[in-house]
Amino acid sequence: MAHPMTRVTAAAVAATTVAGLTAATAGASTAVPTQRGTLVSATHLRTMSAEQARTWLKSDHFDASQVKYGVDTYRLVYRTIDARHRPTTASGLLVLPRNQAKTLRTVSYTHGTMSYKPDAPSVAKDVWGSGPAVTYGAAGFAAVSPDYLGLGLGPGVHPWKNVPSETTASMDMLRAARQAAARHGRTLDRRVLVTGFSQGASSALGLARALQAGNDPWFRLRAVAPISGGYDFKGAELPALLGGKVPSKIGVAYTTYLLTSWNRIHGLYSSPQVVFKKPYAGRVNKLFDGTTRGDVMLKSLPDRLDQLLTPRGMAMLRKPTGRFERALIEDRDAPTAWTPHVPIRLYKISNDEQAVTLNTTHYATWLRRRGVKAPVIDVGGRTYGGSRHLGSNLSGTAQIVRWFETLR
């Protein structure tokens, strides 16, 4: 969860435009070879000195105290598979430190919710989108940040809250990053430090699970540190949303994104009119197809769930059954139903107004039942644009980069 739809409500996002983005990516999934993780292209985006990186990060309230080096940033396009295992392409951001190290410790950072293609890390014009990756890169790590499917230069529509596809996109981005780094005489350490925020917290856990399982012949899991995840949508998030603990407009946006995305993946309803009231039924798919800016999307939706959803739609949320219930269980289990054998820390903020803190409480309990001691780190009370949830990304990233530096 979290990004444009939340940042615009705090008046903290400026709309970005990537010229020709939609046209450039249209049809890009056709005739794609099946070799997952193969690098298609690597585009150098910018070079920053250490001082420039500090100034740039501070301009959007990122902690720059761990900046040691300048960085080079690259947009990678690579081969992967979509949510139905068909060949496609995706994009992501690679940040390499400007130091003399030939072998670079590897960090994977997976981002929070966004619905507009140009907000993704590899194409974002703002600091927020690529700030975490630059934070890790400037500290001396090779930072790998996938855009996910359907965002950035990825064709098609993003399958939001689909951990399996976020996992494959993240794994294949690591493979592509290894190839790109080799072109510059650099080697990525096989032991990956995995982190992510909000939606990306679950994505990080999905990647960590796959790495620990040995799903790649080179990369292995070293540690994992998710931030403010929505790990238990059925048991924590939906009750909070229905109980008024999530700001109403944000709840409307997340609900619309969830239902439209999961309908494409899981087939929840036969037509939007089944769950969405008029006039919203006729616009919801367009609002979340990747071409609508976050501020425009919010203005196009009502303020309350009862204005958005039909009685059947409300009943789905109140008492999930059938395909929706199975999808909720998959969404919970894909990132959490495994036992980490590496150091793991859970980062959260109290009174999180979006990914409510009970999500982290539940996940910590599940880990304890598996015999895993996972410290729960409260990142403090920092806000970003008035949001505690977004503030936890800033504070969590600042704390995690320090922790990762201690792990050898």
- The per-residue pLDDT for range 311-320, each reduced to its tens digit, is 999 999 999 9
Region 181-200: mean pLDDT is 98
Alpha-carbon distance of 319 to 392, in angstroms, equals 31
Given this model, what pLDDT does residue 80 score?
98
Contact 195, 208 (CB under 8 A): no
Beta strand 220-227 with 187-197: parallel, antiparallel or unpaired?
A: parallel
Domain segments of the chain: what residues?
20-232+345-406, 233-329
CA distances from residue 90 to 20, 290, 293 in whole angstroms, order as listed: 17, 14, 20
Given this model, what pLDDT does residue 25 score?
31
Alpha-carbon distance of 134 to 93, in angstroms, equals 10
Contact 408, 127 (CB under 8 A): no
Given this model, what pLDDT does residue 408 score?
86
Contact 138, 106 (CB under 8 A): no
Helix (H, G, I), strand (E, B) or coil at 329: helix
CATH 3.40.50.720 is right for the domain spanning 20-232+345-406: no
Q: Which residues neighbour 394 within 8 Å (Cβ) at sequence distance 6 or greater?
A: 61, 62, 63, 382, 384
Is the confidence at residue 2, as pLDDT, over 90?
no
Structure token pair of residue 165: 């596809």
Is the confidence at residue 11, as pLDDT, over 50?
no
- Cβ neighbour number for residue 350 with a 10 Å cutoff: 12
Given this model, what pLDDT does residue 34 score?
54
pLDDT (tens digit, 9 = 90+) per residue, 24-81? 333 333 333 459 999 999 999 999 999 999 999 999 999 999 999 999 999 999 999 9
Q: What is the mean pLDDT of the chain?
A: 92
Q: Tell me the CATH number of domain 233-329, given options 3.90.190.20, 1.10.3720.10, 1.20.1090.10, 1.10.260.160.
A: 1.10.260.160
Alpha-carbon distance of 322 to 98, in angstroms, equals 52
Is the confidence at residue 308, as pLDDT, over 70?
yes
Is the confidence at residue 397, as pLDDT, over 80?
yes
